[in-house]
Amino acid sequence: MSDHRQPAGRRPVQNGQRRLVVARYAARRAALKAISSFPRPSDEERAAPQREARRQPRDADTTHPRTRDAVAGRPRGRLRAFGLTRIRARDGTRERTARRHRGS
């Protein structure tokens, strides 16, 4: 069985910093979105908030940070309910099943 607990490099740190930036700009982005989605705004009334949103940092967008494995930081194959990747979840169930069959 392979051990997936190797350090994941700088990516989880960068991801944490992105989440801080998202939180910092959340109120401003929400206000701009409310203005631009107001019922039937004119083209200019809609374009001004959109321009302002484009001037904000790319990391301020809520979709930019990756969801990662809670233990190893792997970016893909994450099961949302557990916060783990499919690989780690499979290894955990395999270990639990082996313990049950051994009688521990």
Question: Residue 85 above 90 pLDDT?
Answer: no
Question: Residue 7 above 70 pLDDT?
Answer: no
**Distance in angstroms (rounded) separating the CA atoms of residues 19 and 27:** 14
Q: Could you report the per-residue pLDDT of 16-61, keeping only the tens digit for each?
A: 888 899 999 999 988 988 887 777 778 888 888 889 888 988 888 8
Return phi, psi of residue 79, to 5°: -90, 115
Residue 47: name the closest of 60, 62, 57, 32 by CA. 32
pLDDT of residue 1: 44
pLDDT of residue 28: 92
- Give the mean pLDDT of the chain: 79
